[in-house]
Amino acid sequence: MSSVTPTPHELQPQIIIAGVTPGQTAAYDALVAFGESDPDGFWLNEAKRITWTQDPTRASTSSFTGDVRIRWFEDGRLNASVSCLDRHLKERADQPALIWEGETDGDRRTLTYRELHTQVSRTANALRSLGVKKGDRVAIHLPMVAEGLISMLACARIGAPHVVMFGGFSPEGISERLVDSGAVAVITADTARRGSKRIPHKTAIDQALKHAGTIGAVRNVIVVTVTGDEVPMKDGRDIRFTDLIKNQSADCEPEIMNAEDPLFLLYTSGSTGKPKAIVHATGGYMVWASYTFGTVYPQEPGDVHWCTADIAWITGHSCVVYGPLANGTTTLMYEGLPSWPRAGRWWDIIQRNRVTSLFTAPTAIRALMREGDDFPGTFDLSSLRSLGTAGEPISADAWMWYYEVIGKSRAAVIDTWWQTETAGIILGPVVGATPMKPGSATKPLPGIGVVVTDDKGNVLEGAAEGCFCITTSWPGQARTIWQDHKRFRETYFTFSEGKYFTGDGVRRDEDGYYWITGRMDDVINVSGHRIGTAEIEDAVAVDHRLAEAAAVGIQHDLKGQGIVVFVVTRASRSGVRPEDIAAVISRNVGRYAAPEKVYLVSELPKTRSGKIVRRLLRKIAEGQTGEFGDLSSLADTSVVDTLIADVARQNQSENV
Ligand code: WTA
């Protein structure tokens, strides 16, 4: 485990911005006290937020020790889509459930709760007509179009766990995930728009399926027409989305699930091995998504919530789809990039739709900040009440910019800390009750217990810096890693006995506020995307001209972290170019993993037991040439000078 490096925000003075009211603070304190004194009562009460076919009588029966068992609301029965759709039909059938804004000007679609219910039911019936049944996995590989949200809810309606995949994954990456999840159907697009480019979706799936060969279980590929580009269709396997739902009934009996039946699988990266599918269960996830969203972004009639995350990430699942819809609000989806087709596009969308809560990532905030204050200044952003952020640490200056320039010092900045594994917000302010500190994700939500530990997992009290752990289960906690419970137990529960280890470093200040310092394991966070160093190194290893490779994350102004790869070539092989290696990574992992820099070096720094010392590589990649700290663990310290010389030579040759 690497040591925690201080991020710039820790060096900034702390400012508390008030706006809290005594009434709300008292209510919040009472909720925290309830959660601590009677967790079962607390969570059974929160469970009433959603619709159950059979109410649960028990909350958690979880244990973080032994084999590790996470279970919530075990005797409850429900269907997730009912809480998002059916139960709203009485009161808000004609209220917009989804506003979709296309990248092309004027391309817009609004679906009321009634219309969304119809679309979801027809799609669910269509999936059933293809033989998809309860328990079958369905992969969704779509850009930000309404059909993505519709497909997720359609899967939920028939009890088929969805596996949403990011459009940026390579065909190899998709293939790996299709095989691992055993998906029986894929819902994809012809092609997707991304700025001036087109991203091939259908052909990526074709390649992925070819790659998977006979070990894949996919029977059908359903193609949504997004751009109208020509794509090959395979007889008997491929079918157009519109053709499939055309004659389907608008009534679809929901499959009633046990609370612990999986609702979805979602792949994320860890420090070792292949991407892992995190499994989330129906009852606990729905209560949790509804509670966290409703608590942190309280909604009023007429509100419009816009989460800019791709639906392929956990933020998209919980804050574009399930959280907003379970709370009966209007969710907005935008197809495009932040500043496309022009700067100011986001502010235009906020003004036109009177968006009340915006939720995005620090990487987007930094990019928007660069465009200057003029663009947001020309739009009316007065509808905004909350400005959310998550996915990476936000610096105090970006926080202040968001607060002052976008929120005009009226809207609250809501820095929320969570993970694919937590499925919802663990740390975050409750507006009106939690004073904010720029750069801090504040405190745990009521019902949640967190601690800071030292490197050995011992709990630290008071102001402290160390490892971030969660002490008791929460309803939306990941149940397991798909088909690998051993990896689940070892990754999260062996670091500190009886606690869930998040993999993050944290500092707690004198006021009990938490300041996340970044990942402590070998996971790189590029623009909010988690990428394991092992994934990159495995991708490079397929090139037989290379002996070994090590990937590290370095600080990057825009992306938060950027990837730098050190490669050792086999002695007898020459002619390897850094750009070839970068291309191999883009091809095998995905475009989002493209490195900033590839260095060809003669040796990698290793410990006596052969472990690569990434901490040292990270410093060298960031341009440090001395003061490396204790190097006594290195098998051979002379490697340091050789490395610095190799790196300097390549940096220099680039400048000529
Ligand atoms: C990081 C994204 C600092 C963290 C929701 C975590 C954050 C990883 C914050 C999970 C935040 C998330 N401040 N860091 N507010 N939120 N992170 O699974 O390192 O894509 O472990 O979920 O993002 O990334 P994931």
What does the pLDDT look like over 390-444, one tens digit per residue?
A: 999 999 889 999 999 999 999 999 999 999 999 999 999 998 888 899 999 999 9
- Give me the long-range contacts of 58-67 (CB less than 8 A, separation at least 24): 59/475, 60/472, 60/473, 60/475, 62/472, 62/473, 62/477, 64/472, 64/473, 64/493, 64/498, 64/499, 64/500, 65/493, 65/497, 65/498, 67/485, 67/489
* pLDDT(572) > 70: no
Separation of CA 145 and ligand 1 centre (Å): 25
Distance CA 618, CA 3 (A): 12
Q: Which residue has the higher pLDDT, 11 or 602?
A: 602
Separation of CA 419 and ligand 1 centre (Å): 5
**452 with 466: CB under 8 angstroms?**
yes
Q: What is the pLDDT of residues 494-552, one digit of tens each?
A: 999 999 999 999 999 999 999 999 999 889 999 989 999 989 998 998 888 888 899 99
Separation of CA 394 and ligand 1 centre (Å): 11
Name the residue of 315, 530, 561, 592 whose CB sits within 8 Å of the most ligand 1 atoms, as the mutation to test its pocket: 530
Cis before residue 446, ω within 30 degrees of 0? Answer: no
* pLDDT(2) > 60: no
Tell me the average pLDDT across 447-465. Answer: 97
Separation of CA 527 and ligand 1 centre (Å): 11
Q: How confident is the model at residue 653 (pLDDT cuts 50, 70, 90)?
A: confident
Q: How confident is the model at residue 3 (pLDDT cuts 50, 70, 90)?
A: very low
Name the residue of 271, 363, 392 whose CB sits within 8 Å of the most ligand 1 atoms, as the mutation to test its pocket: 392
Distance CA 244, CA 184 (A): 16
Q: For position 437, what pLDDT does the model report?
A: 92
**51 with 78: CB under 8 angstroms?**
yes
Instruction: Write out residues with Cβ below 6 Å of ligand 1.
Output: 268, 313-315, 390-393, 415-420, 441, 502-504, 516, 519, 525, 530
Residue 552 burial (C-beta neighbours within 10 Å; 0-12, 13-18, 19+): buried
* pLDDT(11) > 70: no
Nearest CA to ligand 1 atom 25: 419
Distance CA 173, CA 185 (A): 17
Separation of CA 100 and ligand 1 centre (Å): 26
Q: How confident is the model at residue 449 (pLDDT cuts 50, 70, 90)?
A: very high
Q: What is the pLDDT of residues 349-400, one digit of tens each?
A: 999 999 999 999 999 999 999 888 988 999 999 999 999 999 999 998 899 9
Q: For position 574, what pLDDT does the model report?
A: 67
**Helices and strands per DSSP (H, E), number in the chain:** 21, 29
Q: Please list, in sequence order, all residues whose beta carbon lies within 8 angstroms of the beta carbon of residue 453, skipping any fewer than 6 positions away.
A: 459, 460, 466, 467, 469, 496, 499
What is the DSSP code (8-state) at residue 496?
Answer: S
Q: How confident is the model at residue 134 (pLDDT cuts 50, 70, 90)?
A: very high
Nearest CA to ligand 1 atom 23: 391
Separation of CA 454 and ligand 1 centre (Å): 20
Q: For position 14, what pLDDT does the model report?
A: 53
**423 with 477: CB under 8 angstroms?**
yes
Distance CA 274, CA 267 (A): 10
Name the residue of 445, 504, 513 whose CB sits within 8 Å of the most ligand 1 atoms, as the mutation to test its pocket: 504
Distance CA 190, CA 222 (A): 10
Q: For position 54, what pLDDT does the model report?
A: 98
Q: Where are the domains of the chain?
A: 522-655
Angle in degrees, CA 133, 134, 136, rounded to 5: 70
Quick one: what percent of the chain has pLDDT higher than 90? 80
Q: How confident is the model at residue 655 (pLDDT cuts 50, 70, 90)?
A: low
**565 with 549: CB under 8 angstroms?**
yes
Domain 522-655 is in which class?
Answer: alpha beta
Q: How confident is the model at residue 214 (pLDDT cuts 50, 70, 90)?
A: confident
What residue type is assigned to position 213 of the chain?
A: G
Nearest CA to ligand 1 atom 10: 419
**607 with 631: CB under 8 angstroms?**
no
Q: For position 576, what pLDDT does the model report?
A: 86
Separation of CA 519 and ligand 1 centre (Å): 9
Closest alpha carbon to 223 in 113, 126, 362: 126
Q: How confident is the model at residue 203 (pLDDT cuts 50, 70, 90)?
A: very high
Q: For position 365, what pLDDT does the model report?
A: 95
Separation of CA 526 and ligand 1 centre (Å): 11
Nearest CA to ligand 1 atom 6: 419
pTM for the model: 0.93
Beta bridge partners of 100: 109, 333
Beta bridge partners of 265: 163, 279
DSSP code per residue over 604-644: --BBTT--B-HHHHHHHHTT--S-----TTBS-TTHHHHHH
Tell me the average pLDDT across 143-171. Answer: 97
Separation of CA 265 and ligand 1 centre (Å): 18
Closest alpha carbon to 385 in 414, 343, 365: 414
